[in-house]
Structure 1
């Protein structure tokens, strides 16, 4: 029988010290090098964003068909002497673009468009190399957090697919009487680039907090706002694809007026396609393609205002600020689109409009993330 104990005796005194409580299941999962992987993904994000801008400039300068072969490895080396330049130029001279549009082009002019396309492809190789080195390094050192291997591998797989689609796009302009790539293939190529960019941005946002913090934040998610920002994200993606169709057939240069289209609300001969079916007008008629892009832009802006009205009621200050930024960028992007139309898509205006699409895309994704994983404010710090 145990002896009497003093009421002042510490509980457990003289006995075994109880073990500290074990961490929860979330904390028990491998955390890995979340900060390092986030930095690596941030570098990839910047590279992909630059890739989109360079790709836009390649299209605007009509440089995309200057390299007529797909050589993922050996193509990394540009022509190094006059003989090599003569060979590359001869290949281009056999292409429909040269025969039908650029006949008589000098070698010096060819070099200009060649360097744009070569730089575009070279940047793609750099992105692939950065992904491989980072992924393999984190994988070998077992620094990838639990549940993240598939996500990071998926980014690389999409990047590889993007390279193949890039050649699929270019090849469409090297046969028949094509002097540009097929607009729907250009839209596919640009669309996948934005998917990759969006995934990387989402992962960077997720890795900014621990799994435990995300789980806690998710309990306070704003379901309605999350659904609305998801819809806005999808709508913005559709508008990006429509913008690619406009760029693919130079539709942005055909109607340099606003709000009308050369004096009309709906362009004349909108469904006319030489030697084609009426449904092809949705991809090949400049008037119809630009009209759809304009109308979609107006609707996207209206829906963005609705989302902003809902977002400004959020109880979280950071979420409200994120929605304000989306609306501000949406206004700027509409203005840039109008300016691009009025200037017949001058290169500097058109590329600014495309970069604006990248900024708007990421801001929408950020607002969506904060609706799903809100950051609680503090009354004491004035961040409520």
Structure 2
């Protein structure tokens, strides 16, 4: 009787794993698309392409210009904004096409993510693969995706009247929300299994993992402010900023909140200091995990997190010293997403070690 009961338990667990597998793969696919969208968004930013489409048409905007007349009309709308008059006067139609395609691709990815998320969600719910109790979480993720689209237009609209680029604060909000959605989707995929159970680690390790993950978002926000203000170009020396730990022109604008989002010296200084804080948090967490952790996943994820953060710091320093070349700047943004991925994986391995192990075991059958 006992053996029969154990066999039924194993069969139930195998059935649950089979049911979870498509949902997990779907969530991984959505996360990968968000990752790609952030990278394409970085290209859009670095090529100054973000203002090439001057209207928000969530449905009809999915189609690019299909005729020469359509291209001329789109170009005429672009020629009416300050960026063309003050930065790109004399641009040819072919040059306009090159920046248009990047912004259009960025927006298309956003639409694709919405479809790839919504349609399988309906299917998985109707077929019972997503329990009714879990549905609100997925609906919140979908709503955040819609909000991200609205914030994207709010960002673009800031550069159509009195500026030649988008407002840095709005850019930072747009990027940070995208990374939060990515983290939430990845976290959901990694904790999908309810079969694995294990004692929770000590509060110190949980606090450390949460602090690292939270600080990654702070660093991403500050990095977006640096990018939006082109603040990486003002001081291209390291470890000091032109011989100063704190540059003399930092914190000179009043009120202070305006200084923190518009003063190039202040923003770069804060981004540098924040990177050091993040590295210290990661190093402390690594030592804590290696010394006391019971699970191999926590130790491996802590090591991976430390490695990718160190690599990101090296890329950031090289980008600064080489005066922000396109390729390194793009690698820096993409690596930031890898840092976030590592931070999420590590946090899950600390907060839900049993679920993480169940997920790893499930991967063996993929």
TM-score w.r.t. the length of structure 2 is: 0.89
Distance 1:93 1:288 in 2: 34
- Tell me the distance in 2 between the aligned counterparts of 1:271 and 1:20: 68
- Of 183, 189, 211, which residue of structure 1 is paired with 2:174? 189
Call closer, same or farther: CA 1:277–1:166 in 2, change over 3 Å: same
Structure 1 residue 92, shift from structure 2 partner: 0.5
Which one of 208, 211, 215 corresponds to residue 194 of structure 2? 211
- Asked if 1:234 corresponds to 2:214, the answer is yes
When the two structures are aligned, how many residues end up with a matched partner? 349
Q: Deviations over 1:12-44 (max 9, x none)?
A: xxxxxxx979x99xx89x959311110100110
SS of aligned partner of 2:133: coil
Which residue, out of 23, 32, 43, partners 2:29?
Answer: 43
Distance 1:150 1:175 in 2: 39
208, 231, 237: which one aligns with 1:257: 237
* Structure 2 residue 225 is matched with structure 1 residue 245: yes
* 8 Å Cα contact 2:125-2:131 kept in structure 1: no
Residue 332 (structure 1) aligns with: 311
* Contact 1:236–1:300 (8 Å) recurs in 2: yes
* 1:70 and 2:50 are equivalent in the alignment: no
Query: What are the within-5 Å matches in structure 2 for residues 103-122 of structure 1?
Result: 103-122=89-108
Q: Can you list the C-alpha shifts for 1:311-335, whole angstroms capped at 9, x where unaligned?
A: 1121222211111111111110110
1:13 aligns to what? Answer: none
Q: Write out per-residue CA displacement over residues 32-75 of structure 1, whole angstroms, 9 at most, x where no aligned residue.
A: 93111101001101100000000011001111011000001111
- Give the CA RMSD over aligned residues: 2.4
Contact 2:279/2:309 (<8 A) preserved: yes
Verify the 8 A CA contact 2:208 2:281 in the aligned structure 1. no
Contact kept in structure 2, 1:223 and 1:371, CA below 8 Å: no
Provide the C-alpha distance between the structure 1 equivalents of 2:251 and 2:215, rounded to a whole number of angstroms: 24
Q: Mapping of 1:250-289 within 5 angstroms?
A: 250-271=230-251, 277=255, 279-289=257-267
In structure 1, the residue matched to 2:183 is: 198
Structure 2 unaligned blocks of 5 or more: 358-366
For 1:371 and 1:97, locate their aligned partners in 2 and report how far apart those are by CA, in whole Å. Answer: 48
CA distance in 2, matches of 1:268, 1:142: 61
Deviation of 1:130 after TM superposition, in Å, equals 0.5
Q: Is the 8 A contact 1:222 1:372 kept in 2?
A: no
Name the CA distance, whole Å, in 2 between partners of 1:212 and 1:41.
18
Matching residue of 1:223: 203
Is the aligned partner of 1:170 residue 2:156? Answer: yes
Report how far residue 104 of structure 1 moved: 1.6
Counterparts of 1:330-369 in structure 2, within 5 Å, are 330-369=309-348
CA distance in 1 between partners of 2:348 and 2:132 (Å)? 20
Structure 1 residue 364: Cα displacement: 1.2
Determine the C-alpha separation between the residues in 2 that align with 1:131 and 1:220.
Answer: 31
Q: Check conservation: 2:81, 2:161, Cα contact below 8 A.
A: yes
Does the 8 Å contact 1:256/1:342 carry over to 2? yes
Paired residue secondary structure (2:294): coil
1:19-98 to structure 2, matched below 5 A, reads 33-98=19-84
CA distance in 2, matches of 1:212, 1:277: 53
Q: Deviations over 1:201-220 (max 9, x none)?
A: 1111112xx3132xx22x34
Pairing 1:291–2:269 present:
yes
Separation in structure 2 between the aligned mates of residue 279 and residue 230 of structure 1, nearest angstrom: 26
- Does the 8 A contact of 1:222 with 1:371 survive in 2? no
Deviation at 1:301, TM superposition (A): 0.9
Unaligned stretches of 5+ residues in structure 1: 1-18, 378-384
